[in-house]
Amino acid sequence: MIATCDVQMMMNPGCHFPTYSVTGLFSDGDVILGGIFPFHDDAEFEKITFTIEPAPINCRRTPSQTYQGLQAMMFAVEEINHNNYLLPNTTLGFQIYDSCRVNQRSLQATLWMLTGQEKPVLNFCCQRELPLMGIIGDAGSSSSIVMARILGLYKFPQISYVSTSPLLSNRNQFPSFFRTITNDDLQAQGLAQLLVHFGWTWVGILVEDNDYGQQGYHLIKQELAKAGACIAFSENIILSRADRNALHIIQVIKNSTAKAIVIFSSDAGLVPLIDQMIVRNVSGKVFIASEGWSTSATLAIEKYNEFLSGTIGIGTHSGEIPGFKEYLDAINPVTSPDNVFLPEFWEDVFNCKWPPQKNATTFWDNESKLCTGHERIGSLQVDFNDGTNLRSSYNVYNAVYASAWSLHDLIFCKSHKDLNSKTACADINNFKPWQLLHYVKNVHFQSKSGEEIFFNQNGEVPVRYDIVSWQQGQERGLRQMTVGSYDSNAPHGQTIKVNTSGILWVSRASQWGNAHTAKGALMLQCLLGCLPDGVA
């Protein structure tokens, strides 16, 4: 068990345990907000021999989009600390750790923050800061579930910015979990309505062979049946195979009469399959992207220009964060020496290497370009400083503000209809996590972009998706243009809004799918029970 600490325990100078080096970002404040982000998106595991202490997980690969989310948390905290109305006379601090997209790291970081120890000792809390107010994170649903099992025991508020699994909507299992992104149940509804809107009533489905893909398949299958559409084929993208079972999938696609193919996948899981589709000349199809890859920077590159142009998908809603692009453009490792993640990111984005330190044991290539620290992010046109595509970063921003407004309401003892009027106001210097949790449940504020932010009974924000169209632009690579929206709270018949003139299709036949081609035959197939291709 993990015990929360009172002030007396936290200030106990005799509470010490063995520690080891932990990389993270820290900022002092009157109240601490935790954050967990996949600064790296891959990891190496050392072989465990059980004769020596297992080595730490070695993280690698730095994606710029997730680093932008980490910076969004820092920007929001800085902005709140300069706000004279929100949390007056109270400053937010933070602790931010890298999960590497590994569940063990997410759990480890959670324990670091709960116990105040770099090598956590369960049932002890030795941190000298004020009690942790909550945690923003993690990205993946599986790691958020691991965290929520622990945080839910003690009612620590947890707000995720990307986790979409419907399992996390179970309030009995995850009583303190919230998210600023919509769960996959409603994504499936949006995808089904999008297909029907364009007349695609005879579709193929490709899904990853993991929880995300399999849950997505069952949900989209149900929603397509409700909408009157039929499934021509369904195939698993086998992640355990390097080629993702590509040759079999390609043969199925070529043999099918379906023009539209829905793909429930992550971008990383899709790359080997797309590569083989190009080699095998798969053409004449339009792809409908799930949220997992609809706004991917990995796939929006020049290599895939012709093949993925015309793709349409449903993506996380993108909002505005005033001043954030300027903040990103001004980031510099020289002026931010305490930002331990920034030097590695700098090497990645500027393709340079920092000069080796004295006694360094790392390999140094004399031909590498040296980083100077005088490079300017603002001179680049990269995903990191694109202020028009703030999807997960916008969710992070709203999560931090939801935490701050909840704390603001707690400080001023703002009453709610379900709060006992006899309940005493919490002490800001020694409040309990369950006291703040009440205010998170009831928080309601307007974002700077004018949107109403609040959580429903399942801890989720109102459903909003962007409909995106993949188009070739003047620059290298593909643009993912917002051409519409899906809002489940809109009146019946108005949930889908699409500006069809803003869409560039691969061919005129793709524009209206199967609505105007062989419509009678397709309707007959549906009446016969949605027979798959080749079944008479």
Q: What is the mean pLDDT of residues 55-69?
A: 74
How far does CA 306 lie from the centroid of its chain?
27
Give the span between the Cα atoms of 194 and 189, in whole angstroms.
Answer: 9
Task: Categorize the per-residue pLDDT at 296 as very low, low, confident or very high, splitting at 50, 70 and 90.
Answer: confident
Give the span between the Cα atoms of 106 and 33, in whole angstroms.
Answer: 15
Report whether 64 contacts 345 (CB < 8 A).
yes
Task: Categorize the per-residue pLDDT at 187 as very low, low, confident or very high, splitting at 50, 70 and 90.
Answer: confident
Q: Above 90 in pLDDT, residue 189?
A: no
Mean pLDDT (the chain) is: 82
Give the span between the Cα atoms of 534 and 338, in whole angstroms.
Answer: 62
Higher-confidence residue of 514 and 24: namely: 24
Residues 6+ apart with CB under 8 A from 1: 122, 123, 153
Amino acid, res. 373? G
Report percent pLDDT > 70 for the chain: 81
- Give the alpha-carbon dihedral of 8, 10, 14, 16, to 10 degrees: 160
Q: Above 70 in pLDDT, residue 422?
A: no
Residues 6+ apart with CB under 8 A from 87: 80, 81, 404, 407, 408, 411
What Cα–Cα distance (Å) separates residue 269 from each residue in 99, 200, 243, 307, 454?
Answer: 19, 25, 10, 17, 33
Q: What is the mean pLDDT of residues 436-451?
A: 92
- Give the model confidence (pLDDT) of 4-14 as tens digits: 343 333 344 44
Q: Above 60 in pLDDT, residue 168?
A: yes
Give the span between the Cα atoms of 521 and 509, in whole angstroms.
Answer: 17
The 24-27 sheet, strands edge to edge: 24-27, 92-98, 31-37, 132-136, 158-160, 177-179
Q: Above 50 in pLDDT, residue 108?
A: yes
Q: Which tokens go with 165? A: 């699994």
Q: Which H or E run contains 496?
A: strand 496-498
Report whether 71 contacts 331 (CB < 8 A).
yes
Give the span between the Cα atoms of 108 and 100, in whole angstroms.
Answer: 12
How far does CA 280 lie from the centroid of its chain?
32
- Give the model confidence (pLDDT) of 513-532 as tens digits: 544 343 444 444 444 445 55
What Cα–Cα distance (Å) separates residue 60 from each residue in 63, 326, 344, 348, 393?
Answer: 10, 28, 10, 11, 21
Q: What is the mean pLDDT of residues 291-306?
A: 88
Q: Which H or E run contains 264?
A: strand 260-264
Query: pTM for the whole thing?
Result: 0.80
Angle between helices 246-255 and 267-279 (to 10 degrees): 60
Q: What are φ and ψ of residue 32, in 5° steps?
A: -105, 130
Helix, coil or strand: residue 479: strand
* Cis, bond preceding 138 (omega within 30 deg of 0): yes
End-to-end CA distance of the chain: 60
Confidence (pLDDT) at 528:
40
- Give the model confidence (pLDDT) of 133-149 as tens digits: 999 999 888 889 999 99
- From 408, 446, 444, select the one nearest 88 (Cα to Cα): 408
- Give the model confidence (pLDDT) of 320-340 as tens digits: 899 999 999 999 998 888 888
- H/E/C letters for each residue in 20-61? CCCCEEEECCCEEEEEEECCCCEEECCCCCCCCCCCCCEEEC
> How do strand 260-264 and strand 452-454 relate by DSSP bridges?
unpaired
Give the span between the Cα atoms of 392 and 106, in whole angstroms.
Answer: 18
- Give the alpha-carbon dihedral of 128, 133, 138, 141, to 10 degrees: 130
Q: Quick one: DSSP state of residue 490? A: S
- Give the model confidence (pLDDT) of 121-132 as tens digits: 555 555 554 578
Rg of the chain (C-alpha set): 25
Give the span between the Cα atoms of 179 and 160, in whole angstroms.
Answer: 5
Say which residue the tokens 């021999």 belong to.
49
Higher-confidence residue of 253 and 363: namely: 253
- Give the model confidence (pLDDT) of 196-219 as tens digits: 889 999 999 999 988 788 888 998
Residues 6+ apart with CB under 8 A from 170: none
Give the span between the Cα atoms of 446 and 427, in whole angstroms.
Answer: 26
Report whether 231 contacts 204 (CB < 8 A).
yes
> How do strand 478-486 and strand 496-498 relate by DSSP bridges?
antiparallel
Q: Above 50 in pLDDT, residue 95?
A: yes
Q: Above 60 in pLDDT, residue 276?
A: yes
Confidence (pLDDT) at 213:
86
Task: Categorize the per-residue pLDDT at 505 as very low, low, confident or very high, splitting at 50, 70 and 90.
Answer: confident
Q: Above 70 in pLDDT, residue 366?
A: no
- From 218, 325, 300, 303, select the one nearest 262 (Cα to Cα): 218
Give the span between the Cα atoms of 9 and 114, in whole angstroms.
Answer: 13
Report whether 287 contacts 513 (CB < 8 A).
no
Q: Above 90 in pLDDT, residue 240?
A: no
Q: Above 70 in pLDDT, residue 173?
A: yes
DSSP-assigned beta bridge partners for residue 98: 37
Give the span between the Cα atoms of 390 and 321, in whole angstroms.
Answer: 8
Give the span between the Cα atoms of 299 and 8, in whole angstroms.
Answer: 53
